[in-house]
Structures are given as structure tokens and as C-alpha cells.
Chain A
Amino acid sequence: MTLMMPAPEPEILANRDALIALLRDILPESGLIIDETARRAFECDAFTMYRALPLVVVLPETVAQVRAIMALAAEMNVKIVPRGAGTSLSGGSMPLVDGILLGMSKFDRILEIDYDNRCARVQPGVQNLAISKAVEAKGFYYAPDPSSQIACSIGGNVAENAGGVHCLKYGLTTNNILGLEVVLMGGEIVRLGGKHLDSEAYDLMGLMTGSEGLLGVVTEVTVRILQKPAVARCLLVGFPSVNAGARFVGAVIARGVIPGGMEMMDKATIHAVERFQPCGYPLDAEAIVIVELDGAQVEVDHLVGVVEEIARSEGATTTKISNSESERLQFWAGRKNAFPAVSCIKPDYLCMDGTIPRARLPEVLEGMDALASKYGLQVANVFHAGDGNLHPLILYDASIEGDVARAEQLGFDILRLCVSVGGVLTGEHGVGVEKRDLMGEMFNEIDLDQQLRVKCAFDPMSRLNPGKVFPTLHRCAEFGMMHVVGGKTPFPEIPRF
């Protein structure tokens, strides 16, 4: 299958030199990447299935530069694709051949740490983990921990509303930020929120979070920092069936326990992990669940007993309890190695990201198996069990003809299955280009039009990251919302992808 992106606009391609000349007035030479070989480094993010060479890459260092670039792009009617660290798994920052790729990597400073108000003001290019590192000496951390946290940037986290393994208890990015500074497509700067806890009118900060770079470019983030839990302990529990594992997860929550993390892995993944780097996972189990309990020592010890008791009554075949920090980390080691481990089975994998109502897990796994056999492919499953977020890893070999297309089709079918049981297309990776054409599975045209109208309120000329998230482009004029700039209307004919 070929991914259709908005058709390149010939007049923009023809005006590349003029655009670059004007960008030179805004940026030093070190902030401009013009040369084709150097631009190649930016042709995709962590969703590598599709690539495009950006028209030009800009790396601004100041808000004034971002503002000038955005204003110039609006004036010349050039598209902009924002990019953080380029770790999106859904192609959120895949470039456009007629668009400026706006890299925010030089915005890498922590501006202020305010322990008194338990927050930090940081620039968007700061790595997720760097925030926790900066405050750890005082016992604090930044809660959302996507698995790319050593590389991904906080600006990208805001764009994607990034999650991680501790979301059920500590929330996603949207629950852990207090303020944003945003440059809009016309170059206006708005500050949303701050160090206070709620908004004076509409919660535009909440709207920006997870908007995948389609509404504005984030130039500053105020994040909440939390005091690290006094202690964390883990249980590693093996079950003779996936059903038993799923029942156990439900029973833990029904008992009123909200673990810091609750992860499930299926047999295929357990075996792959044990082959990759043995960490003591039971090979006879059909599923394992890792439960992490954190908080005050006495509470954690008490809850470990409660969870152990539930495991027993749900028919666990193995229960191991961490009694030291090194044991706890060992339980996690296999989970953290899951992705590289499955790459040893097949050279390539596609990581899906549907979320389902947890109780539907057994039937979804069964359905997934049936679909995998239909396509002649294997699927390994890791699962944020507490919040129902599935990560089926579709294993394939890109060197085998037709495997890529089959993997992609299987992925689509799996996501359709998730939606059909009341779930959603994406729990934390974003829609991007990857799931764009499936949006109609979840939303009807009216639902999507409402979202597009919101887009028009921010970006009436559809210049900011077009071709992502929405399967169709619209003229904002159709919605009665477009301000025609200099007599130019975007999209001579409306592309339908």
C-alpha cells in the first residue's frame, strides 16, 4: 500500500531558493540544513515505513526565530512539519517534500526548577529523562515514562500526549503539565496555564496536548514534578492461560488496588525475552503479569500480601516477589527488553497501540491469533494491562516480498478489532500517518469535521503538519472559517487520501 500525502505544490518547490534566502535572514547558517545528504537524516522518525525528503530543515534556537519562521511560512504559504527528537512511532514528524521541517532540538535548556511549587519550566527539546535526572537529587521525578524516554523530547511528549508504564496511577503527559508557551501558525505567541492548576477559560493546554503538531509549535513547557515513592516492589506472576492473567488484573483493581504499573506479556514474548537475555521468567506460563506497587513501605508490604493472595486465588502457577531493588529491576529487565528480543525472531516488527476495555482481552487475543494465521504472520504481545493498552508486535521480514503490506494490513485489522470491542486506535503512540486512514473506524464524518473545525481555529490555511491524523483535508472555507490571505487559497483541489 502506498501512503498518499498532500500533493506537493509546484510553486513552493520552484521557490525553494527564495525561501532559503529568506530563512537565512532569520537563522544562522548552523540552523539551516539545505544539503541533500544532510537532509536525509531527517527523512523519517521512528516510524520508518514511510520516508520523505524535507524541502529544508531549520533548527531555531530562540522563540523569536520560531516566530519569524512561522510568520514567513504563513506569508509564503509553505507547510511546516514540527519535529522533536524524531521518536514518534506513528510518523507524526514525517517530513513533506514541499514543507519546512522545524526541528526543536536546540531548545534544550531547563529554564527553572521550582521545588516550592513542584514544577519545572523547560524548553521543548529537553529529553524526558533529563527532567527526572535534573531533580532526582532532591528525590523528585517527572512521572510519564514512555519507553523512548532516554531519547524523546518533552515537546514531542506534549504533541503526542505520551504515556508509559505508570499511566494508570500517575496519568499521561496531559495530567502532568501545568503550562505551555505556543507559537501559532501566524507567528502569534500564546501562553497557556502557568504554575497554577486550572485554566481561566477553555483548557487550550489540554487541547494542545496530543494534537500531534497540527495546532501550534510548543516553545516552553511547565511540567509537574513528583516526589519519588518511598519504596517500590514487584510481583512476577505466571498464569496457565491468558484468561487467568486477565482475570487476575481485573481482580486486583476490583480489590481497590491501583498499582504503579501492571504489565502483561504472552508466551511468545516470554520465550523471546528469555532467549534474548534470561531474567527468570517462567517458560511454562502462557502469560505473565508484572505488578509494581509503590508508596509508603508499610502500605506496599501490605498490598504485596493482598496481590499475592489474589494471584493464588486466580490460579497463578508462579509468584515471585522482589525483596530488593536489584530483584525488582530484574523483573522489569525482560519487559524492557521485549522489543529488541522479538526482533531476534524476525528482523522487522510493527508495533501496534490499540486500547481495549480490559475484560475483552481474551477474545481480542483470540481474534488476533486468528488474524495472524490468516496473514501467515506471527504476533507477540506486550500489554499495559492496568489501563488496557495493547502493544501487539507484528513480526515480519521486509526482505520477503509482500511481507510489509501483509504486516500493515494485519495491523489495520487488529486495530479494527480493538475498535469493535469498544476500544480505540491508539493509546499513546498517536495517529500520525500510520493510523490516519483508520480514523473513520472510530469517528463518523461529523465527529471528524468537528475536529477539523478546531484545527481551522488554529491554522486556517492548513499549513501546519497537514496529511497527519485526518484522512481528508478540507478547505477551512467550506466551514466558513478560512481567512483568505493575499487571495491565495490552499488546495486547488481537495485531496482525499
Chain B
Amino acid sequence: MDPAAATLEIRDAADAAEAISLARSRNASFAIVGAGSKKRLGRHAPQPRELSTKALSGVSLYEPEELVLSARAGTPLREIEELLDAHRQQLAFEPMDHARLFGGATRSATIGGVIAVNASGPRRIKAGAARDHLLGFQCVNGRGEIVKSGGRVMKNVTGYDLSKLVCGSYGTLALLTEVTLKVLPKPETQETLLLHGLDEAQGLAQLRRASGMPHEASSFAVVPAGVTPLSPEGAVAAIRIEGPQISVAMRRDALIAQLKDCGASFDVLDQEKSAGLWAEVRDAAPVVARSGQIWRLSVAPSDGFKVVEALRGAGTPILAHLFDWAGGLIWLCLEPALNAHAETVRSAVDAYGGHAMLMRASEDTRARVEVFHPQPGPLAALTKRVKESFDPAHVLERGRMRAEF
């Protein structure tokens, strides 16, 4: 490792500890980069130097019967997914692929990056987010100390659950060196039930109804009208059912029987088409494929449609949108503006509760608009104290999440 280079390739935790300690003493800061698939995510806060986890790669433990896998932070997601697939297992939180958002090779992201942004997919309601599957980790904090937390077992309450903190910390607390994940069996098969002939609000209402039925559907999305080939004519509500073949067919029929009073016409996607659809939803493909500024809104499912209606009412130029998580997750593509319509978007969200993150915009916009949803005073102050409990000198990803750190 050349300590003077602009990009430091970390070979192990000790390398990272040394580099970070040195930077701390010089009031310097670092960006943390794996595959670089999320470089344009977060506030625009260019760092003079990078710590690369690329060389920190490889699965270090995989015991399928114990449902556990450990990998060094720079291990490509693709490598982990292929290994799991060979054992009929999966990361149940099906992390989204930011390559669709920013360009780049698919599934090239590193597992460290996936955890750092708490990347989670359409199975969120049923199976949880990345944060629900991180059992433990090793990291180097902003003081240049090698710290471990959690473990490799399914059930563990020994000490604070720091796994939850590092998940979604965007590298601002620590450089992850190794993560240990809960992995789960891959369902034998899947199908998707499509509901045609409903408008968005009606479709979302049926999704919420279905998500409260005992049929263990795993994903609930509404694709608005005009997305080919799925919804050329009108909005489509989609419900994914996974499990053994015999059970999938039975639960699909039970859902149809219980939902038929809504007046929709039903259609079923087979395993391959279903998998294809949910990969598109996972990556918000119909929205991010459009050129424009991308927002991601997280609200109570029953507020999803209301928030979009409020934005339409306020004249927000929505170019494309998509509802996942039964309405709890909204992807928006807006006509570009220097302020990214941030005030309008955030006041629509604040009226109901939740948050909005600006996922894609120019550097200029991401420098002037808060990318992460602003917090009330006491919470913002607490967030800063937590940051400084890991990284007192703001060495890691300075300014990436908040201007004040």
C-alpha cells in the first residue's frame, strides 16, 4: 500500500486502520469505494482521497445448514449470489442494483456497499431489509481502530446491536472490512398475480388488503400505465407468491377468490416472467431508465398514493413513478430543476410522515439540496453525536450524509 497514493487499496483491516489513523492526525478525509457503483449517491462532497476495498475480497465462511455467510467487504455481490444459488439459497433482502440508476455492470456492487446503503428489495414487507440480515461485522472506525460487533449466530443480544447502525450509514461511521449475513433457502418457485383494470389508488388498496391476508405473498407493487410491455393500457397491481409449487398455486387461487370482488381482471406470470418483473421493480427500472432527477420516498403504505396526488396537485413535473412495498416505497423521476423540487417533495412527505431521499441529480444539485431527509433538531444533534462516537474527526465520507459531518 502506497500511503501517499490518491487511491489506497486496502488489503486487510490493519491497512485501513493505519491509513485512517494517519488521516485523522492530519485532519484529512477519505471516500470509501468498493466497486464504485454508488459514487454518485449522497451529498456531493468530493474527498481528496479514496480507500478502496477492492482487494478485500472473498467469502470467508459459508455454512448453508447454519444459514450463515461471511464475506470480506469488497466481495462482489455477483460472486455471493452465485455461490448461494448453487446451494439453493439467497439473500432474502434481494438488494437493488444501483447500476441501473447510475450505469455500470450489473450485480458488480460489493457486499460492503450493499450493507452501507441498506440496499433492500421488493421482499421488504415479508423478509425485511439488509439491516434484518446483518448478523455481525468487523470494521475500522474513524479513529483507526479495528472493531467487531455481533456474531455469526441467528440470535444474539450481547451488547449494542451496532449492525443496525452501520447498515445504511453510507460509510460515515466506519469502513466495513467483513460482514456476516443470515442467508435463507431460495423458494422452490414463484408466480406473480397481476390485477388489471384498476387505477393506481384502487390497485394499492387491493395490495394493502392482500398484504393483510394469510397467504404470505412476498411483494406488492403498482406499475403505472404506460410501461411496456407490462402496462401499456392501464396501471397494473402485482403480487408475488413464493414457495413450493403446490402451495404457490393454491395461494394464488385463494388470493384471486378473496380479491375478485374488487372488479379487476386477473393474469398470472410464471416463474421466469415473475422473476423478471421483480428484478425490474427492485431496481426501479421503469423510473430510473428515464432521464431526470430521481427521488425515493418512504412512507406508510396507505399514504403512498396520497403523497403522489399531493405532488401532482402542487404541479410537480413527474416523468415516471412506481409504487413498491404496497405503496410504502415510491420512486419518482422528476423533470430536472436546480433545487430538484426538494421543498415540494419534502413538504408532501412531511404532511404524512416518512422521508424522501434524492437518489440521482447533478453534482451541483446534490451540493445545494439536502440529499437525506432533514431531521428535527434533537434528532439531528443525536445523529451527529453518534457519528462522532465512531468518527470524531469526520475522516470518513466527510459531508456525504450531512453538511455538518
Contact = CB atoms under 8 A, between A and B. Distances in A.
Interface of A: 114-118, 139-140, 160-161, 163, 167-168, 171-172, 174-175, 184, 188-192, 194-207, 209-211, 227-230, 250-251, 253-254, 256-258, 295-299, 302-303, 355-359, 384, 386-389, 422-431, 435, 439, 442-443, 446-451, 453-458, 469, 479-481
Given A197-B298, A450-B147, A357 B152 contact: yes
Nearest to B208: A116
B339 interface: no
A227 B148 CA distance: 37
B35 interface: no
Given A118-B211, A207-B160, A196 B300 contact: yes
A302 to B, nearest CB: 6
Nearest to A429: B157
A443 B247 CA distance: 45
Contacts, number: 281
Nearest to A251: B65
Contacts of A424: 151, 153, 156, 158
A206 B161 contact: yes
A299 B247 contact: yes
B184 interface: yes
Interface string B36-67: 00000000000000000000000000011111
Interface stretch (B230-238, B281-289, B353-361): B353-361
A296 B212 contact: no
Contact of A198 (B120, B162, B163): B120
Contacts of B254: 296
B389 A457 contact: yes
Given A189-B378, A197-B325, A302-B246, A427 B157 contact: yes
Contacts of A359: 63, 65-66
A49 B88 CA distance: 47
Contacts of A302: 244, 246-247
A355 B155 contact: yes
Contacts of B147: 446-447, 450
A428 to B, nearest CB: 6
Chain B interface residue number, banded: 35 or more
B329 interface: yes
A204 B329 contact: no
A196 B161 CA distance: 21
B305 to A, nearest CB: 12
B141 interface: yes
A209 B163 CA distance: 12
A201 B188 CA distance: 36
23 contacts: A174-B132, A189-B378, A190-B378, A196-B299, A199-B118, A202-B169, A203-B131, A206-B163, A207-B162, A209-B164, A297-B250, A299-B244, A299-B250, A355-B155, A357-B66, A359-B65, A389-B155, A423-B151, A425-B158, A426-B157, A450-B141, A450-B149, A481-B385
B351 interface: no
Given A204-B386, A446-B146, A296 B153 contact: no
